[in-house]
Amino acid sequence: MAVWGPFTDLEALRRELERTFQDAWAERPQAWRGAFLPGRAARQYPLANLSEDAANVYVEALAPGVDPKSLDLTVIQGSLVIKGEKPGLAQVAAEAYHRNERAAGRFLRSIELPSEVDAARIMAEYRNGLLLVTLPKSEAAKPRKIAVSVA
């Protein structure tokens, strides 16, 4: 959905600024290499977009390079918990790097869902680095049309 909004421009700007700061910190790489997301260790990962229609709630998470076998999804008390691991590059010596901007490691994130879901019918798909979780709304949470009788 490439709809223009004031925030898409801001988002691009934010990424550009982040990259500038990362370049500045690259001179002290050891301090940052260990961090899960360089320069932003405390940030939630993966980033997720929530959307919904009448029948389902959708969670789309930005998770490139994650091992699909390591993904573990659970729904507990109205929250979706995403657990997994993004493997790092094995056997690369620290001094062999020209750039190291990608992060790796284990992650755990809990996302609050906007409505009650039917935990038994949840489907998840990992496609090209995006995780799409389809959570069917429970019958009680679906919109219901109420007929008005005219007296």
Residues of this chain that interact with other proteins (CB under 8 A) are 1-2, 4, 7-9, 11-12, 15-16, 19, 47-53, 56-60, 62-66, 68, 89, 92, 96-103, 114, 126-130, 132
Residue 80 CA, distance from chain mean position: 11
Nearer to other proteins, 31 or 89 (CB): 89
Cα–Cα distance, 73 to 50 (Å, whole number): 16
CA distances for 142 relative to 3, 16, 131, 132, angstroms: 27, 41, 24, 21
Rounded least distance, CB 47 to other proteins, Å:
4
Nearer to other proteins, 128 or 149 (CB): 128
Tokens of 93: 């010596």
Cα–Cα distance, 62 to 132 (Å, whole number): 9
Rounded least distance, CB 35 to other proteins, Å:
13
Residue recorded with tokens 């600024």: 17
Nearer to other proteins, 28 or 151 (CB): 28
Rounded least distance, CB 146 to other proteins, Å:
22
Nearer to other proteins, 74 or 125 (CB): 125
Rounded least distance, CB 41 to other proteins, Å:
15
| Residue 123 host element (H or E) | strand 123-127
What are phi and psi for residue 126, nearest 5 degrees?
-115, 115
